Amino acid sequence: MSVTLTEENYLKAIYHISQMTKTDVSTNAIAEKIDAKASSVTDMLKKLSDKGFITYIKYKGVNLTEKGRLTAVDIIRKHRLWEVFLVDKLNFSWDEVHDVAEQLEHIKSPKLIKELDAFLDFPTHDPHGDPIPDKDGQIKRTDKIILSKAEVGGTYKCVGVQDSSTDFLKYLDKHQIQIGTELTVKDIEDFDHSMTFTIHQHNMTMSKAITNNIYVKKLQ
Amino acid sequence: MSVTLTEENYLKAIYHISQMTKTDVSTNAIAEKIDAKASSVTDMLKKLSDKGFITYIKYKGVNLTEKGRLTAVDIIRKHRLWEVFLVDKLNFSWDEVHDVAEQLEHIKSPKLIKELDAFLDFPTHDPHGDPIPDKDGQIKRTDKIILSKAEVGGTYKCVGVQDSSTDFLKYLDKHQIQIGTELTVKDIEDFDHSMTFTIHQHNMTMSKAITNNIYVKKLQ
DNA sequence: TTTAATTTTTAGACAACTCTAAAAATATGT
DNA sequence: ACATATTTTTAGAGTTGTCTAAAAATTAAA
């Protein structure tokens, strides 16, 4: 009862969507994420249900079973470990890693991941600030908030991004924002909720479209 | 016009067989290597021929075109670089690397291989002593000979193996023979061509079945 | 050289995954 | 609540790569 590459991608997509929405995952949402037609998704959902990875009720949507969740989280663990490898050891920038990690995450070898984890010195977060699940599928909860919810006068540390599209990461690189960057909120515009910060001794303003995609942790 | 994983495996198999036999590669030989039926191979040969990777004459066998050779050699380059990574960085032993490298060799990312090559300090040989093709598909010829052809009194350095099955590599590990090990031929038995060596200040005897699978280079 | 054995190819079918088009179920608006 | 719009599922079909069984070509043997 092995898991095919395609099944793995579906499980990962379902996991990510359910993390977002906290409700039953719809066929259309999966179709959009996977970039396939809804009819193809329906076929696959039957298969995943037969194999015990999801609970599937027609027209109602799906949920991961514990078995499905563990499988999805294991793939995410591999993906994020490979991302650390690419950035720390092979000089990839954080906007270049995603496509390659997407391939590497499907390599099957428990020893490979165990040794890679040790070689990277047991990292807890990937280059985008997302936590790396441990080998038992536990994910460390972070007390991060979305930057758009920050308060005037507060100082925050950048811990991750919501959108990891190349375009967005390039924007951050251009403005020298990365994991660990500290920023202080100077002003919030009532009209469009654009925010002005002090970053690296400079002032800069970001639109809500930007601040909605950056996670920060408040510095006490 | 991309190359599927299956096509890559066929090209690699054809390359390896043609290196061995130096003649047209037969359908049955490929079927055995790939572990598929001859009829499946015939189907794939038509496809590879259509795509310009091989010249295929019905009932006569196949040969790689230059395009096919370059593709095969590129996969072998990736395979061997990954083997070096697994042994040098992730504590794999040389009998554990093959299956994982077989998966890793299909990852598509020119930057990944370029950076991995640099990270490993541009290795020229894999852990079994096989040469790593360079990025233009050139393979360094080694002046290695098969150990069974060595002469009494000569001193040789182990540079590679012919058979890289797990059983054989375990035999070598057990007797502490690896790439770089030096040995001096003390005696060759006329009857069965078994050979006695001095290795690590010890004497040991190997049957022809063993010496036929070890490559050595004569130390002048 | 003519028969027998072997190799290779063809024909037809199946599994995994995909699609389009149409039908069925659910949700929405007035 | 009833018509309309949206979502989801079914039905039928295509692609890639595999198989078995049988036919065709080649090679080996007597």
Q: How far is A106 from chain B (nearest CA, A)?
A: 9
Contact B111 A96 (CB under 8 A): yes
Percentage of residues of chain B with pLDDT beyond 70? 100
Instruction: Determine the distance between A106 (CA) and C23 (C1') in angstroms.
Output: 38
Is the CB of residue B49 inside 7 Å of nucleic acid strand C? no
DSSP SS3 for A216: strand
Cβ atoms < 10 Å from Cβ of A188:
16
What the block records as the tokens of B212 is 């036929």
The mean pLDDT values, 10 residues at a time, for chain B of 220 residues are 94 96 95 97 97 96 97 98 98 91 98 98 91 94 88 91 86 89 94 94 94 88
What is the chain B residue with the closest CA to A98?
B109
* Strand, helix or coil for residue B110: helix
What pLDDT, in 10s, does the model give residues A64-103? 999 999 999 999 999 999 999 999 999 998 889 999 999 9
Q: How far is the CA of A209 from the C1' of C1 (A)?
A: 86
Q: What is the pLDDT of residue B220?
A: 65
* Model confidence pLDDT, tens digit, residues A151-175: 999 999 898 888 878 888 889 889 9
Q: What is the pLDDT of residues A96-149, one digit of tens each?
A: 999 999 999 999 999 999 999 999 999 999 988 889 999 999 998 877 889 999
Neighbours of B154 (CB within 10 A): 12
Which residues are CB-contacts of B15 (< 8 A; sequence separation ≥ 6)? Answer: B64, B68, B69, B72, B73, B76
- Mutual angle of helices B66-88 and B5-21, in 10-degree steps: 100
- Residue B163 has what pLDDT? 83
Q: Which nucleotide is nearest to A37 (CA to C1')?
A: C19
Closest among B133, B77, B79, B80 to B102, alpha carbons compared: B79
Residue A92 DSSP code = -
Q: How far is the CA of A5 from the C1' of D12 (A)?
A: 26
Please, what is the average pLDDT of chain A?
94
Mutate to test the interface with B, among A90, A97, A116, A121 (most CBs of B within 10 A): A90
* Structure tokens given for A92: 């990839």
Measured to protein CB atoms, the chain D nucleotides within 7 Å are 7-12, 16-22, 25-26
In contact, B203 and B186? CB cutoff 8 Å:
yes
Using a CB–CB cut-off of 8 Å, the residues of B that contact A are 86, 89-92, 96, 99-100, 103-104, 107-109, 111-112, 115-116, 119
